[in-house]
Structure 1
Amino acid sequence: MDSVPKLYERLGEIPKQNGETVQSLKELVKFLQLGARKDLKTISLETILSMSAVTDNGTWAILSVPEVLVSLVFLLQDNDACITKDAACCLINLSADKYGPRELLNLDEEYCPPLQTKPKSIVHECFKHIFDKKSIIADHCCMILCNLSRDKDAAIQTYELLEDSEFRINDILSIFTKVQYNEVGANLHYLGPWLSNMTQDKRVRKFIFDSINVVNNLLPYTTYKKSTVRRGGVVGVLRNLCLDVEFNEWLVFEVDILPSLLLPLAGNEEFDDEDTETLPSELQYLPDDKERESDPDIRKMLVEAITQLCTEKKNREYIRDKGTYLIMRELHKWEKDPAVLTAVGNLVDILIRTEEEIGLENLKDVEVPDDLAEKFSKMDNNDTV
């Protein structure tokens, strides 16, 4: 039987995924156990980590050996900090691969090591660390969950696994909006994009809609300067909430979401008194050093959220009356990113038209000819690729 160093040499360069590589990985499994010697675990994890970080072929090989994946999830429970960190880093790399979520969310108990209890799921194991105030891999686990929930199907499966655990969305939102929940330096910023991913699922959006306090606790983070990751995640959540037209009026009039969406898009431009009075109070007489949101993806999501809120006539009229066009006009002058310019143009097109010109209570009611619908679908697919 090969020793770990010899296996490391055989796995060091992987020209392609093949039977020999997979067999070598399986031979590492006995060294990736909670009760294995630390030096053997360390070398084995270094091997897996280097493979997952360097080549797609290495990642695909690892993902094809569920025994290794289960062992990595187990090692999140290891008593040695270095071991848990290395295991978490391996899982970050593996979950980032397009095939990673499928394999990691569907681990089968038949691959559990002998005499060890199967982890409930990788989702459960990650949240155990996130809720542990003294966990040094809480941020790693946030990143793993973020990777696992990128597409809608994976987000739905993640939610279902979460439902089978003791952790609930309201508790997750609670620790996310605390100033410093973790006591050993983890910031939990990546819970932001995870929440954004999860709000692809209507059940998660419905939960957030059940409490105005939840949304109000998220709104300040649209201008959170300490982390683009957290800020972008929250804006993604808010943009997804705006997709539910039946709640748009509630967001506009009860939550008063518009100022929080507009403020990051505003610069330090001065308007005359008459125009200034139309703006929400939060946007009136901004300081000379006021800067716009620096990330174009976040700016685009903010504009898209406002555009979604314009679906119904009552909301459109309110959004017009609050000087939204002024902010969009100045943003359009300043903006350089083509995708953001397109988004701004779409919103401005709605704002400058009268309701008589629009002729619809609800923009979702417009009938698109079949040939144009097919064309738009192709354009959307091209944008995604």
Structure 2
Amino acid sequence: MAAEAALEELTVLLGPSAGAAVRAGAAEAALALSGDPEGRRLLAARPEALRALLGLAEVSGPEVGPGPGAALRCLQNVSAEAEAREPLLAALPAVLRLLPAGPACGLLANLSRERGAAQRVLNGLERENRAGVEALLRALEGPRPPPPELAALLCNLSGLPEGRRALLERSRCAVRRLLPLVGDAESAVLRRGAVGTLRNCCFEHEHHEWLLSDAVDLLPSLLLPLAGPEEIPEEEMERLPLQLQYLPEDKQREPLPDLRTMLLEALLLLTATKGGRLQLRQRGAYAVLRELHRREGDPEVLTACERVIHVLIGDEPEEGMENLMEVTAAPPHGTEPRGSLWGPPCCGMGNIGVLQVGLPDMWGARVGQLCVYLNTNNKHQRWEPKTPLCSLRGAPLTHISPMAVGW
């Protein structure tokens, strides 16, 4: 009861009837409260407190002081709680007006962790701002590095077909704007969001040729974080993209195993098409992955690496089955299905986490070749697995401490 009474008083102090200094102090108190899980739950359970914080976050002008910034960071923290998401989604137009501030991107990334909510955010972007996703992409063009939370939000939106179509609109050059973020040494959050977005875009197999062309040149950006300083034979070196040739002795691979896995999953998706497999073979991807496999110690990364290698060294599929994303697998007669060749794109960065999609072995899959079985009537029928292929990883993106930021 005492906590609820104090929170009710705090809500009043956050309101417009209080002075700027009082509101700023109340916002700082709310931000401190949101640094604790129990405090976040208390705030999430009071929609009127959320409305007051959002109202303060919208205030602008030189005389307002630190109150709006503290209120917005508090909302980002509280949005990690499921109970707060529906009230905040109901106020989506007000939240969208706070873009492209980093905490606003983080707030929306937390809100869009589920597919239905991500659709609402994307629809809201298009409704409130005719530019839609373009309004977010502009923040990638400035002289300063973009807020890390922006990449997480883009990753969530790219979990939707409409989001991927917007990002893959060729006139926007959105994918090229994301490439420099893959190697950002300062922020794992930024790297994770960028890699997750690019990985999701690779599900659109009709764009593979363009993604691998000179117009985008996606492959070097996916391979470089997986490459080390090892010497390789000269004939293999010459096949590599220029960015990967003669790397310095102190060249380090991507340090986070989950990001190495996501990079490898993006490469695996690119091998779904004949043109993608040809590009990876011709441009020396096997040499990079071979050296990675020799030195990799994480079991999940090793498995992901082996899957790509098996495709690259394997035989080409039979005629009519060259595009593995257009081939539907059916189990051999008398067996139970175990999974699907291509899982759905990750609907994003979770809280702010990543829905990592597994790409399990198929019935009849053997080393060196992806083997699929077609239905006897040769009709392409989609089979839905009985169990989900996704698992949520990660922790909320908050402003509690530097260690708490990220997944």
In the TM superposition, residue 49 of structure 1 has moved relative to its aligned partner by: 3.2
CA distance in 2, matches of 1:83, 1:256: 44
State the match for 2:67 in structure 1.
Answer: 83
Distance change (3 Å), C-alpha of 1:28 and 1:348: same
CA distance in 1, matches of 2:388, 2:303: 13
What pairs up with 1:254-333 in 2 under 5 angstroms?
254-333=215-294
Tell me: higher relative CO, structure 1 or 2? Use CA pairs within 8 A at least 6 residues apart.
2
CA distance in 1, matches of 2:300, 2:201: 21
**Residues 27-54 of structure 1: CA distance to partner in whole angstroms, max 9, x if unpaired?**
5433221231345434543553344322
State the match for 2:397 in structure 1.
Answer: none
* 5+ long unaligned stretches in structure 2: 341-359, 361-384, 394-407
CA distance in 2, matches of 1:252, 1:176: 21
Match for residue 159 of structure 1 among 117, 122, 144 = 122
**Residues 304-334 of structure 1: CA distance to partner in whole angstroms, max 9, x if unpaired?**
1110011112221221222111111111122
CA contact (8 A) 1:48 1:90 kept: yes
Distance change (3 Å), C-alpha of 1:192 and 1:255: same
Say what the alpha-carbon RMSD is for the aligned residues.
2.7
**Residues 119-138 of structure 1: CA distance to partner in whole angstroms, max 9, x if unpaired?**
833222x21xx3xxxxxxx3
Question: 2:253 aligns to what SS in structure 1?
Answer: coil
State the match for 1:65 in structure 2.
Answer: 46
CA contact (8 A) 1:156 1:198 kept: yes
TM-score normalized with structure 2 length: 0.75
**Residues 107-154 of structure 1: CA distance to partner in whole angstroms, max 9, x if unpaired?**
4xxxxxxxxxxx833222x21xx3xxxxxxx33223222222222222
1:218 paired with 2:178, answer yes
Distance change (3 Å), C-alpha of 1:165 and 1:373: same
* 5+ long unaligned stretches in structure 1: 1-6, 12-20, 108-118, 131-137, 182-186
CA distance in 2, matches of 1:214, 1:48: 37
Question: 2:154 aligns to what SS in structure 1?
Answer: helix
1:246 paired with 2:210, answer no
State the match for 1:29 in structure 2.
Answer: 11
Match for residue 86 of structure 2 among 89, 102, 106 = 102
Residue identity in the other structure for 1:299: R
**Residues 218-242 of structure 1: CA distance to partner in whole angstroms, max 9, x if unpaired?**
2222222232222222111111110
**Residues 145-191 of structure 1: CA distance to partner in whole angstroms, max 9, x if unpaired?**
2222222222211111212223632232122232228xxxxx52221
State the match for 1:208 in structure 2.
Answer: 167
TM-score normalized with structure 1 length: 0.79
CA distance in 2, matches of 1:358, 1:268: 39
What pairs up with 1:93-132 in 2 under 5 angstroms?
93-107=77-91, 120-124=93-97, 126-127=98-99, 130=100
Total equivalences in the alignment: 340
State the match for 2:152 in structure 1.
Answer: 193
In the TM superposition, residue 273 of structure 1 has moved relative to its aligned partner by: 1.2
In the TM superposition, residue 381 of structure 1 has moved relative to its aligned partner by: 4.8
Question: If you compute each CA radius of gyration, which structure gives the higher value, 1 or 2?
Answer: 1
